């Protein structure tokens, strides 16, 4: 028999948002499990969702009235009271329309209004048909929402309601439940750590209007900074130019060139306990940068003379006292061999190797796959996953290193 103390979500107040997707019926089973595990669940449906599933089904199972109408809800100020009481808001399934409203801050029904009034953790499990998930607008909205700390679970690939095959199926219930568990009892296993992260590209000036740069968006480094912060670490993020929002609670140091980035990191090395170099630092810069814009007429052809930039990672490894140092290897083929070589050559503790030409990986994408190679001889292959999730897996791997300070190792590492 299950005692009440075994119930995963006992005493938790959860808002289950359901929007107008054919997958709305799957929210019924999700609700049953949440209630069985002890949660008090208030279901908020969009008007479109009520066309797919009768609200009565949710009312019976949740033993609470189901609300969708903002104006009816206003009488009891539900958009405030429910949202303030909640420990967690999970929207499953979420349509492209719901993602857009969340990203843009539109509030024209109870669910979207609650997205603005609640301060609790939010999980969104999208489901949509016909290739909509891959549309650049949907991807942009998803990226914006993730940067605000919302967990967006990737939909699965498979047969869609339209008969097409593609990515868009609501992720499975286990994935939603484990995300709920993780957000309700966040790990605080990096408390006491001081984490220095680099992210984004560097820009090396050719003249006042042109530079040598690269395709890094900063997403990988920002995800690491955010993950470390959420797990309790103090975090400084040294970042090249990106279009990303500053991660909550993280000190951000903006830089432009490889030289600036090196200085910013080296002066903060002594402060840190762990350094992660996710930035795509330029390996070469123009030997001379022109003070004036180079004129087209002056160019019958042009040769740029380049010189190497200092290797920041190697310098950090040489100057460290007890810091754990993690580097990346951006490769255009399977990265294992290169990652192993970089680990030795740079004298660091762990290398995250990624093939930046693989589908949905590397520069600019929201997901990535990697191989982790560490100084203790371990090799871990990590499949394609959101960068935010990969960030957590990298932090988990760092905690298992023999050089990671013993008092900070997790007691029950999975």
- Choose the stretch contacting ligand PMT; rule: CB under 6 A; options: 31-39, 83-91, 295-303, 357-365: 357-365
Rounded CA separation 168/211 (Å): 39
Check whether the bond before 93 is cis (ω within 30° of 0).
Answer: yes
Rounded CA separation 399/392 (Å): 11
- Choose the stretch contacting ligand PMT; rule: CB under 6 A; options: 169-177, 295-303, 317-325, 327-335: 327-335
Out of 88, 281, 325, 371, name the contact with ligand PMT by CB under 6 A.
281
Closest CA to 138 of 168, 160, 169, 180: 168
21 DSSP 8-state letter: S
Out of 114, 233, 356, 391, name the contact with ligand PMT by CB under 6 A.
356
Q: How far is the CB of 319 from ligand PMT (least distance, A)?
A: 13
* Interface characters, 129-158, with ligand PMT (x: CB under 6 A): ------------------------------
If one asks whether residue 39 binds ligand PMT (CB under 6 A), the answer comes out as no
Out of 171, 354, 367, 399, name the contact with ligand PMT by CB under 6 A.
354
110-117 and 78-85 helices, crossing angle to 10°: 50
If one asks whether residue 280 binds ligand PMT (CB under 6 A), the answer comes out as yes
Rounded CA separation 377/354 (Å): 18
- Which residue in the list 214, 354, 368, 412 is annotated as catalytic? 214
Out of 362, 374, 397, 398, name the contact with ligand PMT by CB under 6 A.
362
Q: How far is the CB of 230 from ligand PMT (least distance, A)?
A: 18
Q: What's the token pair of residue 259? A: 């030289």
- Active-site annotation holds for 412: no
Long-range contacts of 381-389 (CB under 8 A, 24+ apart): 384/360, 385/154, 386/146, 386/152, 386/154, 387/219, 387/220, 387/223, 388/146, 388/151, 388/223, 388/226, 388/227
If one asks whether residue 363 binds ligand PMT (CB under 6 A), the answer comes out as yes
- Choose the stretch contacting ligand PMT; rule: CB under 6 A; options: 14-22, 120-128, 142-150, 275-283: 275-283
Out of 7, 283, 286, 320, name the contact with ligand PMT by CB under 6 A.
283
If one asks whether residue 339 binds ligand PMT (CB under 6 A), the answer comes out as no
If one asks whether residue 127 binds ligand PMT (CB under 6 A), the answer comes out as no
Q: How far is the CB of 312 from ligand PMT (least distance, A)?
A: 3
What's the first-to-final CA gap in the chain, in angstroms? Answer: 27
Out of 87, 260, 311, 340, name the contact with ligand PMT by CB under 6 A.
311
| Helix, coil or strand: residue 3 | coil
Nearer to ligand PMT, 66 or 250 (CB): 250
Site for ligand PMT in 201-230 (CB under 6 A): 216-220
If one asks whether residue 278 binds ligand PMT (CB under 6 A), the answer comes out as yes
Taking only Cα atoms into account, the Rg of the chain, rounded to an integer number of angstroms, comes to 24
If one asks whether residue 264 binds ligand PMT (CB under 6 A), the answer comes out as no
Measured in residues, the chain has a length of 414
Q: Count the residues of the shown chain that bind ligand PMT, applying the rule CB under 6 A.
A: 26
**Do 345 and 351 meet the contact criterion of CB atoms below 8 Å apart?**
no
Q: What's the token pair of residue 7? A: 């119930």
Distances in Å between the alpha carbon of 401 and those of 134, 256, 308, 311, 378?
Answer: 37, 32, 32, 24, 9
Nearer to ligand PMT, 53 or 398 (CB): 398
Out of 19, 67, 193, 309, name the contact with ligand PMT by CB under 6 A.
309
Burial class of residue 22, CB neighbours in 10 A (0-12, 13-18, 19+): middle
Rounded CA separation 18/284 (Å): 51
**Do 197 and 285 meet the contact criterion of CB atoms below 8 Å apart?**
no
Rounded CA separation 224/288 (Å): 35
Nearer to ligand PMT, 180 or 199 (CB): 199
Q: How far is the CB of 401 from ligand PMT (least distance, A)?
A: 17
Nearer to ligand PMT, 115 or 356 (CB): 356
Q: Which residues are catalytic?
A: 214
Contact residues for ligand PMT, defined by CB under 6 A: 216-220, 258, 277-281, 283, 309, 311-313, 327-330, 342, 354, 356, 362-364
């Amino acid at each position: 028999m299950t005692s009440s103390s075994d119930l995963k979500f006992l005493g938790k107040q959860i808002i289950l948002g359901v929007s107008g997707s054919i997958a709305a019926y799957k929210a019924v089973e999700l609700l049953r499990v949440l209630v069985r595990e002890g949660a008090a669940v208030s279901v908020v449906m969009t008007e479109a969702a009520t066309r797919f599933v009768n609200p009565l089904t949710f009312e019976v199972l949740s033993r609470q009235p189901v609300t969708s109408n903002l104006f009816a809800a206003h009488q009891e100020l539900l958009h405030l009271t429910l949202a303030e009481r909640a420990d967690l808001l999970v929207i499953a399934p979420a349509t492209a329309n719901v993602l857009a409203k969340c990203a843009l801050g539109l509030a024209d029904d109870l669910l979207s209004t609650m997205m603005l009034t609640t301060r609790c953790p939010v999980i969104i499990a999208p489901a949509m048909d016909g290739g909509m998930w891959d549309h650049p607008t949907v991807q942009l909205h998803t990226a914006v929402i993730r940067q605000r700390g919302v967990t967006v679970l990737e939909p699965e690939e498979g047969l869609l309601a339209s008969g097409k095959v593609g990515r868009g199926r609501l992720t499975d219930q286990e994935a939603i439940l484990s995300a709920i568990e993780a957000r309700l009892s966040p790990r605080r296993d990096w408390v006491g750590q001081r984490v220095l992260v680099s992210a984004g590209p560097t820009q090396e000036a050719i003249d006042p209007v042109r530079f040598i740069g690269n395709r890094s968006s900063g997403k990988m480094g920002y995800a690491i900074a955010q993950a470390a912060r959420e797990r309790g670490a103090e975090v400084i993020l040294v970042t090249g130019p990106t279009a990303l929002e500053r991660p909550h609670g993280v000190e951000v140091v903006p830089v432009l060139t490889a030289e600036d980035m090196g200085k910013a990191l080296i002066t903060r090395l002594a402060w840190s306990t762990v350094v992660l170099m996710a930035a795509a630092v330029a390996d070469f810069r123009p030997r001379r940068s022109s003070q004036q814009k180079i004129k087209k007429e002056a160019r019958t052809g042009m040769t740029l003379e380049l010189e190497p930039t200092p290797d920041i990672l190697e310098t950090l490894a040489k100057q460290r006292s007890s810091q754990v140092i993690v580097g990346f290897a951006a490769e255009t083929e399977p990265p294992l061999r290169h990652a192993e070589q970089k680990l030795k050559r740079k004298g660091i503790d762990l290398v995250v190797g990624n093939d930046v030409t693989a589908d949905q990986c590397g520069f600019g994408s929201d997901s990535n796959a990697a191989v982790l190679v560490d100084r203790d001889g371990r090799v871990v292959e990590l499949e394609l996953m959101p960068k935010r999730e990969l960030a957590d897996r990298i932090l988990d791997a760092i905690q298992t290193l023999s050089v990671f300070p013993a008092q900070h190792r997790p007691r029950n590492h999975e």
